[in-house]
Amino acid sequence: MRTNQPQTIYLKDYKVPPFLVDHVDLRFELFEEGARVYNSMEIRRNPEAEPGQPLELDGEGLELEGLTLNGLPLADSDYEVTSGGLRIEKVSDSFTLGVVTWILPQENTRLEGLYKSSGMFCTQCEAEGFRWITYFPDRPDVMARFRTQVEADKARYPVLLSNGNDVESGDLEGGRHFVVWEDPFPKPCYLFALVAGDLVEKRDTFTTQSGRDIDLRMYVEPRNAEKCDHAIDSLKRSMRWDEQVYGREYDLDIFMIVAVDDFNMGAMENKGLNIFNSSCVLASPDTATDAAFQRIEAIVAHEYFHNWSGNRVTCRDWFQLSLKEGFTVFRDSQFSADMGSPTVKRIEDATLLRTAQFAEDSGPMAHPVRPDSYIEISNFYTLTVYEKGAEVVRMLHTLLGAENFRAGSDLYFNRHDGQAVTTDDFVKAMEDASGKDLTQFRRWYGQAGTPIVEVSDEYDADAKTYTLNVRQYIPPTPGQTEKLPQHIPFSLGLIGEHGEDLPLKLESGETDAPTERVLELTEAEHSFVFHDVSEQPVPSLLRGFSAPVKVRYPWTRDQLLFLMGHDSDGFNRWDAGQRLAVDVIQSLINQPQELTVDPRLVTAFRQLLSDSNLDQALVAKMLQLPSEAYLIELSEAADVQGIHKARTRVLNQLALQLRDELLACYRRNREEGPYEPTPEAIARRSVRNTALSWLMHINDEEARLLALQQFGQAGNMTDQSGALRALVNSDFEEDRTKALGDFYDQFSQDPQVVEQWFSIQAGSPRTGTLPAVETLLEHDAFDWKNPNKIRSVIGAFANQNLANFHATDGSGYRFLARHILALDSTNPQIAARLVAPLTRWRNYGDVYREGMKAALEQIHAKPDLSKDVYEVVHKSLVD
């Protein structure tokens, strides 16, 4: 067992920093055996803090080599090195502190602070990584101007980068050289970055709306030189969009992007020097799928948008993380909607939220968008803070309207530029600019859990009134048993018998009534009466997923079919299809084989496959059956094997009955011309690859030939990996083995493609059996130090391959626990993320629960468990 209980940090304990740092002068000497960091800080007492406090700086894993106060060495008795930092009891009101530390980037497997990744030095400081580089007040409300000198061997590390502008460079003795960087904008140390390596530079220019030329520079390893165009184009589109939609212009003269292979997450918005996981920035049509192209565009935009929402205006403390993340995710999702299909983007966001964030909300780690406490902040980079946080901002946009929202964001940026602020400051700016009272709306930040909105209706044919009764409540979450009603924008329409939208008259005789309204739910219960309704309508509820809530209404299958075919809201058309499929699948769980799939579902899918006048981007989404993960989320005591079998049965039945339509659809959507990642082309590829995968599920011989042909002749990775995935999920064992071998031989030198190759296998119910996954871990290309490889094998197995992971003998759980324990010592952040599939053990059926719990207990018992893993495991086990 862990001997010392890790400390919990509370929002209510927040105090302003006792000392401020105005300026930091850093000098890095990078060597093969380690790095020396010279840090000189101009510090002064914070006039707003309690007087007389000692100076305390954060530091972890540092070897202190020198310490001076105003240039004079400090005596040993004048300071104390503690486990988490450095304490100097007596200091004056303003002084310069010099610190020299020696660190070991080569041995840094945690990938926070300064570390080495394939021969280059790089950093990751958010949230609390800077303390692994030097002693410093490592908190976001201390904002300083940074000057950074980087020194290294010139031949090995010709490129030396840091934040801001390069102001000086030159040669040093012994084949070494240096570059000095100056960042004129004060920033918290979590935005500090350094890169040193042998990298090629790709250059471009962007002219801002006010006519300034910005130097765009992308740095990658030479083998990746041809994979930069998409990221650079995405960056330019993002820069233009942020000017047009938010009036935000870039502020430095240079904007740099660097790709590194070993990275704990997707990317990082360091001021002027964004660092990316290679898999989230490098792309070429023959190595990256459509999904990767879209992900890259979104992440490049996200990091760029942080320059205003995060960097110019930053967070006061880490409880406010959603201030920058929720807002920036909302901004990147608006951007992606504008670049492609808004309905498809909304479907993707809602799917992620309903599958994974709702699960988080009903599990042991449930927390508000603005958490009240944490043990390890890295564990709070969650779907709740990011995606639900973005939904909260979206609801503000809906409630205020686009114009007031823009006025609110202008006020927010102008009022708080250069400051570290709170989510409440954000809402206040929206409130002040719009004049709308957002008092109750603020509960979205403080209450955890997914609101449930129950709807019932009555139609009075004589009075021609239609009444909607709406009730909202939030189930209890850990530490929050009583919840108050929230302010929910609830968008709806009513559909008449011919599929037309009916006018929504809240008063009888109302003229020009709209056919869509956003009702504002504020009470626990409401009744809305619509007048002059001449026939019993079908309600289209929560159009566009206007709030992150669960809607309950007793739809019949016929009503869902009707909405699928007629709803003018594309999102709700898709949603009706999902609800229908969920209902059909759920009704077949553990039912006798003779029970057939509802023929109405078959008819609905036939229509989707055959009508080429439908929006193919929407059709591509509507053809996807609800995932096993979503079906599990919807269950009380999930029967994973039952869900897997029922879903597979529906898939097989649909494929058998629609074979001819699937083949025709495949042929109709065959690729023509050169690869283009446009929404239309992406939709076509998605539809045809879905058709192929369904046909391969039933081992269709004609489809087999098409799959082999597509695999061999594909001109892009979407089609090539689509064919590979279809082969892998078929019973054509010989073809599958050969295709996997050929694919590896073709791409063995490309880490991003090898990661796809791993995840296709580990995520497949056919090829991802536990022994096969164990074999993948032994593969030469697997690397325990590379988070992408860990995610593509262990992550894909535990999160996508649910039938094998949840084997009823518990072997999948023991496997995961074993690897979490090993990773806990090398990379605690990654280890903690891998615990997630075990945390909701209480929501599973009896045959699963004990095994999941036992795995958690086994992890919990490790002595000196990292606080990252401890927090997740401990919270999962407490009653």
Nearer to Zn ion, 331 or 697 (CB): 331
Nearer to ligand B3K, 306 or 725 (CB): 306
Q: Do 696 and 729 form a contact (C-beta atoms < 8 A)? A: yes
Helix (H) or strand (E) holding 746: helix 733-747
One-letter identity of residue 339: M
Phi, psi of 150 (to 5 degrees): -115, 130
Residue 383's binding partner among ligand B3K, Zn ion, none (Cβ under 5 to 8 angstroms by kind) is none
Owner of token pair 């070993």: 262
- Give me 537's structure tokens: 């309508």
Of 378, 384, 447, 759, which lies in the binding site for ligand B3K, with binding defined by CB under 6 A? 378
Nearer to Zn ion, 315 or 663 (CB): 315
Question: Could you tell me the smallest distance in angstroms from the CB atom of residue 424 to Zn ion?
Answer: 20
Nearest-CA neighbor of 624 among 590, 645, 591, 647? Answer: 647
Question: Could you tell me the smallest distance in angstroms from the CB atom of residue 725 to ligand B3K?
Answer: 29
Q: Which stretch binds Zn ion (CB under 5 A): 110-118, 326-334, 720-728, 855-863?
A: 326-334
Q: Which stretch binds Zn ion (CB under 5 A): 317-325, 605-613, 628-636, 646-654?
A: 317-325
Of 183, 262, 269, 639, which lies in the binding site for ligand B3K, with binding defined by CB under 6 A? 269
Question: Could you tell me the smallest distance in angstroms from the CB atom of residue 300 to Zn ion?
Answer: 12
Question: Could you tell me the smallest distance in angstroms from the CB atom of residue 275 to Zn ion?
Answer: 13
Catalytic hit among 126, 128, 297, 303: 303
Q: Which stretch binds ligand B3K (CB under 6 A): 178-186, 224-232, 264-272, 637-645?
A: 264-272
Binding to ligand B3K by residue 271, rule CB under 6 A? no
Helix/strand/coil for 824: helix
Of 268, 273, 691, 794, which lies in the binding site for ligand B3K, with binding defined by CB under 6 A? 268
Question: Could you tell me the smallest distance in angstroms from the CB atom of residue 352 to ligand B3K?
Answer: 15
Q: Do 871 and 6 form a contact (C-beta atoms < 8 A)? A: yes
Binding to ligand B3K by residue 871, rule CB under 6 A? no
Question: Could you tell me the smallest distance in angstroms from the CB atom of residue 306 to Zn ion?
Answer: 6
Nearest-CA neighbor of 826 among 7, 1, 115? Answer: 115
**How many C-beta atoms lie closer than 10 Å to residue 759's C-beta?**
25
Q: Which stretch binds ligand B3K (CB under 6 A): 267-275, 277-285, 433-441, 705-713?
A: 267-275
Instruction: Compute the radius of gyration of the chain from its Cα atoms.
Output: 28
The overall longest dimension of the chain from CA atoms, in Å, is 95
Binding to ligand B3K by residue 836, rule CB under 6 A? no
Half-sphere exposure (Cβ direction) of 12: Cα atoms closer than 13 Å: 3
Residue 107 is among the residues annotated as catalytic for this protein: no
Positions in 112-141 near ligand B3K (CB under 6 A): 126-127
Helix (H) or strand (E) holding 675: none
How far apart CA 470 and CA 452 sit, in angstroms, is 10
- What residues contact residue 192 under an 8 Å CB cut-off, 6+ apart? 123, 125, 130, 133, 146, 148, 162, 163, 270
Half-sphere exposure (Cβ direction) of 42: Cα atoms closer than 13 Å: 9
**How many C-beta atoms lie closer than 10 Å to residue 93's C-beta?**
10
Helix/strand/coil for 51: coil
* x/- letters, 277..316, toward Zn ion (CB under 5 A): ----------------------------------------
Nearer to Zn ion, 273 or 632 (CB): 273
Residue of minimal Cβ distance to ligand B3K: 126
Question: Could you tell me the smallest distance in angstroms from the CB atom of residue 333 to Zn ion?
Answer: 12
Residue 151's binding partner among ligand B3K, Zn ion, none (Cβ under 5 to 8 angstroms by kind) is none
DSSP code for 353: I
Distances (CA, A) of 727 to 164, 731, 761: 49, 8, 11
Binding to ligand B3K by residue 265, rule CB under 6 A? yes
Residue 268's binding partner among ligand B3K, Zn ion, none (Cβ under 5 to 8 angstroms by kind) is ligand B3K
DSSP code for 355: I
Q: Do 708 and 735 form a contact (C-beta atoms < 8 A)? A: yes
Q: Which stretch binds ligand B3K (CB under 6 A): 261-269, 333-341, 463-471, 784-792?
A: 261-269
**How many C-beta atoms lie closer than 10 Å to residue 547's C-beta?**
24
Positions in 287-316 near ligand B3K (CB under 6 A): 302-303, 306
Nearer to Zn ion, 325 or 376 (CB): 325
Q: Do 105 and 40 form a contact (C-beta atoms < 8 A)? A: no
How far apart CA 809 and CA 814 sit, in angstroms, is 10
Nearest-CA neighbor of 97 among 203, 187, 146, 25? Answer: 25
Question: Could you tell me the smallest distance in angstroms from the CB atom of residue 126 to ligand B3K?
Answer: 4
Please count the residues of this chain forming the interface with Zn ion, following the rule CB under 5 A: 2
Nearer to Zn ion, 125 or 564 (CB): 125
Q: Which stretch binds ligand B3K (CB under 6 A): 22-30, 260-268, 536-544, 671-679?
A: 260-268
CA 821 to centroid of chain Cα atoms: 25
How far apart CA 142 and CA 24 sit, in angstroms, is 11
Residue 265's binding partner among Zn ion, ligand B3K, none (Cβ under 5 to 8 angstroms by kind) is ligand B3K
- What residues contact residue 293 under an 8 Å CB cut-off, 6+ apart? 230, 283, 677
Binding to ligand B3K by residue 381, rule CB under 6 A? yes
Residue 381's binding partner among Zn ion, ligand B3K, none (Cβ under 5 to 8 angstroms by kind) is ligand B3K
- Give me 793's structure tokens: 């094998």
* x/- letters, 309..348, toward ligand B3K (CB under 6 A): ----------------x-----------------------
Residue 711's binding partner among ligand B3K, Zn ion, none (Cβ under 5 to 8 angstroms by kind) is none
Nearer to Zn ion, 34 or 266 (CB): 266
Question: Could you tell me the smallest distance in angstroms from the CB atom of residue 421 to Zn ion?
Answer: 16
Q: Which stretch binds Zn ion (CB under 5 A): 323-331, 443-451, 567-575, 802-810?
A: 323-331
Residue 378's binding partner among Zn ion, ligand B3K, none (Cβ under 5 to 8 angstroms by kind) is ligand B3K
Nearer to ligand B3K, 267 or 691 (CB): 267
Question: Could you tell me the smallest distance in angstroms from the CB atom of residue 267 to ligand B3K?
Answer: 6
How far apart CA 569 and CA 564 sit, in angstroms, is 10
Binding to ligand B3K by residue 380, rule CB under 6 A? no
Question: Could you tell me the smallest distance in angstroms from the CB atom of residue 572 to ligand B3K?
Answer: 30
Question: Could you tell me the smallest distance in angstroms from the CB atom of residue 237 to ligand B3K?
Answer: 18
- The length of the chain is 879
Helix/strand/coil for 585: helix
- Measured between alpha carbons, how far apart are the two ends of the chain, in Å? 18
Q: Which stretch binds Zn ion (CB under 5 A): 237-245, 320-328, 772-780, 806-814?
A: 320-328
How far apart CA 530 and CA 470 sit, in angstroms, is 14
Nearer to ligand B3K, 428 or 833 (CB): 833
Residue 127's binding partner among Zn ion, ligand B3K, none (Cβ under 5 to 8 angstroms by kind) is ligand B3K
Question: Mind giving me the DSSP string for 767-818?
Answer: T--HHHHHHHHHSTT--TT-HHHHIIIIIHHHHH-HHHHT-TTSHHHHHHHH
For residue 596, count CB atoms less than 10 angstroms from its CB and return exposed for 0-12, middle for 13-18, buried for 19 or more.
exposed
Phi, psi of 144 (to 5 degrees): -130, 160
Helix/strand/coil for 218: strand
Question: Could you tell me the smallest distance in angstroms from the CB atom of residue 201 to Zn ion?
Answer: 25
Residue 126's binding partner among ligand B3K, Zn ion, none (Cβ under 5 to 8 angstroms by kind) is ligand B3K
Chain contacts with Zn ion (rule: CB under 5 A): 325, 328
Residues that are catalytic: 303
Residues in touch with ligand B3K (CB under 6 A): 126-127, 265, 267-269, 302-303, 306, 325, 378, 381
